[in-house]
Structure formats: structure tokens, C-alpha cells
Structure 1
């Protein structure tokens, strides 16, 4: 593996770093102040739309999508360091560049599995940043860590599918621009193959029978910039059969295809969050004194900073190796590595953020620094896209199988 970034990656990194310094970081406080004056907390502050326009003008748009017909045509290895940079301001930068979840995964699904009508109706406005979307998979009444447990029912009646079920933590669903859900449910609940029971259908948000009931909080945060995380009820909601994505019974496979790239995107953004935390730790350490000397001279603080730097360098190499393998041997060939980064990255970054919060004292848990909200996001990623324990179980079984 060549550890150097290629010329295109370096050029995009330079442009994106400049965009962050000149536009994104200065906009963080502006967005916070503007949000307080909005009639709805789910609307985008005006500065977010300004950032999106600026990113488009600079060619920093849809960087995540490897399909050159729709996106930047970057490989996973090329996109990974760019995702890290946007992770330093996870509330603004991914949205500004149209690289925010869950829209990224939904666009990948539509680009890979959607038919021409579906692409025209939903993918194109998503690519243009004109609408937002949500991915409805997780359910409150079952252990959704096992996707075969989902109970949402999708039955066919003539030329329509009828969807009934309850979902929660459906990211993006509170946003007023969210126009479409990708819903995973069972079209063949009694089928002999439990991984062929599920399908995915497109359900417009304004479909009769679709009710967005409430916003779910994460440690008290509602994640307004990403459109929140909603509880959604589907009560006999009807959509045309043509809204099926792919084929009946293909939902589980589509979900796996969707989650692979998403996991590496999350992990690189987490590394960016860790880098932001290290920067804040160092600035705090050199600017405050306790017991007669600077915090930066306290041995425990030095240990925290050194350990954080070592951990981030290790994680980055593992994630870049995984990206390289996804590009060279495919997601299936990189399955072990994808699971390894999903296990290692969130828990390590949570630890770094926890130390950064501790170093900031009361300020660390306040709204005056981004650390508390970063912690909430990182801790959530120990659950999102599959809990750590599910990945540990699968990875261990693969390792043990070699010796049976």
C-alpha cells in the first residue's frame, strides 16, 4: 500500500481545508445564533445555504459518490481523507458539501439499485441538494441489531404496496426538506430464507398513513442540522409497486451494500472529530494554569494528549487500509477490516473526547465548546450501523473458522 495521497486527493484536500478555514469554522457560531431566531428548529439557518452555494462553486460537492456519472468519481481511498476533514465540523461541513448521512447512503442506493424513473424523481434532486431523505430501518419493539427481526410489513395489493409498522431514530425525518423515505420491511415474512424476507420501497413523506410522531433525542441533543432522528409510524400507507427498489426479497442485500461505505465514512469523520478534540485540548492546556503551572506541564495532561495522538495515527492507518481494500478487493473482501474499524474507531474517539471534556472542566460539558455534542455523536456511532458487539461476534467467528 502506498501511504502517499495521489495528486487529485491532495488538490481536493487543499481546497477543502481552505474552505473549512475560510467559511465553515467562522459559520459555526453564526449558525448557532441564527438557529435561535428561526420559527422552526428544523429549518436550516441561512448561513448553511450560503455554505452549500459556496461549496458548489468551489467544486466541493457530492465528493462521496464513486459513480462519476453522479458524483466526484473518487475511490474510497481518495474520499476517506476528505471525510476526515469534514468530520472536524460534523454539524456543518458534511451538509455544506452534500455529503451528510443519511442522504449519502440513500443516494448510493438509488444510484446502484434504482431504476431510471426513481433516479429522475428522487436521486437527481438529492444530488442537487434540493431535498433531503431518510432511511427507515430501525424499530423500537425488536432488537434491530439483528436486521432479520424487523416487523414492519409490506404486503402487495394489486398494483400497490401497503406498509404498516413503527420505526425510530430515523435520521433526517424531522427536516422540512425531507421528501422521501427508503423503508425496509418484510414482503415475505414466512419465507424459508430469513435474508430474503425483506424488501425496500420508496415512500414519499406526504403519503397518507405516514406520521412523523416525534423527534428522538441523543443525550438531550436533537441533531437539528441533520434533520433530527424521528419516530415514524406507517399505518396502511400505500405506494405504487413501481416504488420497489431492486427486487422483492433484496432488501437485506441492499442494506449491506449501503452500510459498507457508510461505515468507512463515519469512521473517517470520527477521526476528524478526534483531531478537533486534540486541537482543543492543546489550546486549553497552554492557556490555563492550575497549581502553579500550565496544564500543558501537568503529567496527566501530557499523557492524555500523547495517547490521543498515538490512537488517532493508528486508527487512520487502519481506516485507510480498509478503504484501499474496498477499492481493490471489494466490500466483501474487506469485510474483516470494515468490522475492525467499526469496532475500534467510535470507542477510541469517545475516549479521546472524554479526556478533552475533562480537560475543559465545566466548559467541556457546556454549549460553549463543541465537545459535548461531538461526544454525543461519537457515542451514538457505537450503536449506529450495527452495535459493536454484533461486529465483534461476526469478526470473531470468522477468525475462529480458520482453525476449525
Structure 2
């Protein structure tokens, strides 16, 4: 049976949890209310091995199977934080926190893991232990890294770890997964160009930073097309361009660029950083200006284990016929990557239908995906750790 009857019966309850979380979104590590809601539910399920404050505000709980002859321990992860976006979704349970909304579906992820936890706590039809991981600060705060630095994997003896993310544009309840890289790394850079300001009517007395920075922007975009192997997907984007002047008749003293670089290949990260520095500094020097580059490493590449990705796909097939086990990777980044650097595992996409994209003010998580996601987590556990 694709979706377990008990999970189908619980669907309205789990949806209610999500709507509550949607109305009360919180940012980064400041997810105290969300974490408290999670702990309250876990206690209602009869769980007692619950630890708070991991990665500042993360929650970790353990469900023991009927037996533990194998010693196997699997981690299941959900992210809890929202985004600094003013909601325009039109739902009848909108955010009550102005300027903050669950625009990426983390309310759905948390509710799905809670639903799976309730089922597993009732049935315990597995051998070993399940470690539930409720993580803060996925949206730029590297909460996954902080949980790992707090000893997440070693303290609970996690051997494999699994997670999911809703995916707008894919059929509701479908699963997409692949071995190897599935989401890109994400690095940020800042370039400050310093020249010699002056009057716009006398450009010969200046070193025009607007012109220099413009040349840098154009040349930066040659890096991907001319320095990176075309078989290694890479994105470099300059997102902002500003100067220290807002007057049309002034040539500014400085100009500032910021941007991001995404890639699926760790080696490309180093190559592009080197080229960005060289392009910025040498282009500026050619005009008599100077350029200072600040490079800020972000999330690493999210890399699924081959065995675990295949297993995740098999578990998905037990839930839905719509499974792509070799989907295309995507270029947004994900800090589940830190957990996959410490333990083998897999990250999968759960279809959210024809919704607005994540991080859009009109985004809506499709509640029809909830029982499918819950069932997938349960199948992972019961298949990976069959009852003795």
C-alpha cells in the first residue's frame, strides 16, 4: 500500500501542525517557539530521550525500535527556520510575524518529520534506533554545521542520515533523487574598486571607478565560459553594483560589487576564486585603480552516497510510482551538505506541484505532499532497519 493507512488518517492533524508553524515563523537560530512546539509534540508521542540546544536551538530525539540486534542508527533531518519575506500567499493561515514567512516550506518539512515520528513511536516496527534531527538556521546560518560541531553524529552514533526538500514544479508527491552531487556549493564575494573621483565634465583628471567596475563585471562572466570545464556546471552572478556617489555629474571614488558563485565540483570552487581575484585586481590595475576582493566560503556541495541514494529511491517507489532516481542536480545550496560530509546519506526532492518557487512571497507548501513525505521517512526506517 503506497501511503500507510495510519499516516493517511493522521494527515489532517499533521496539516494542522504545519498551519500552526506557518502562522508563527521564526528566523535562523531564533526558532525557540518552533523548537518548543516540536518538543511538545515529541513528548505527546511518548518520547523521553529528547535533547535541546544542539546547534544553539536544534532538537534531537531518539526512537528505539522493538529490538536492537543490528546496532544500526539512522538520522532523519528537518529544517525549522523561515525567511525574512513579507507573505503574499493568500492562504487563510498567514504569518502573524510581519516580514517573516515560511517561504521555503520548512514548516512542511518539520511537520512531515513529526508525522513520521508519531507513526514510528507508535509502531516501532524496526530494529535499531532512529535519531530525529530538527535543525535551525538552514537559510544562511549554517545551522547544520553547528549541530555537527556540537557532536551530532558522534554523540548519537548516527551511521546514515536522510533528508528531503519540497520542490515546486515537480508533480505533487513525486520523488526525485540522484547519487553524487544534487545541490551546489555557494560562495559569496565582494569587490571594492578604488580610483580617483572628480567632476564628470573632467574625466581625464579621474580614475573612473564606474568604468573600471563595469569592465570587471563583464570580464568576470568570461570565467565560467572560458576557464571552467563546460561539463562541470557553474554559475557566477554579480548581484549588486553601487558607488559612493548618487549624483549624475560626479565620478565616484569607489565602487562596490557583490556576487555569488555556485558549482557542483569542489575543485572548481578554488579555480573560480583564483580567477575572480586575478580578473578584479588586474583589470583595475590596467586602469590605474585598485581592487580588493573578499571571498566568503558558504555551504559545500551536497553529495549523496550512491548506495544511500539508490536506497532512498527504492523507499520512494514503495510510496509513489513517480520516482526519478537520476534527476538533474540544482544550483541552489543546502546546509544538509555538512551532515553528508560527516556521514553517508541522501537528500531527496518531494514534488510540490505548480506552486510559486521557494523564496517567493506567494509560495505555498502543498499539504497533499505531507502523507507521502511521512511515508517515505517511515519506509526508509523499516526497510533499512527491518524488525528482527
TM-score (norm 1): 0.27
* Bigger radius of gyration: 2
TM-score (norm 2): 0.28
More helix by share: 1
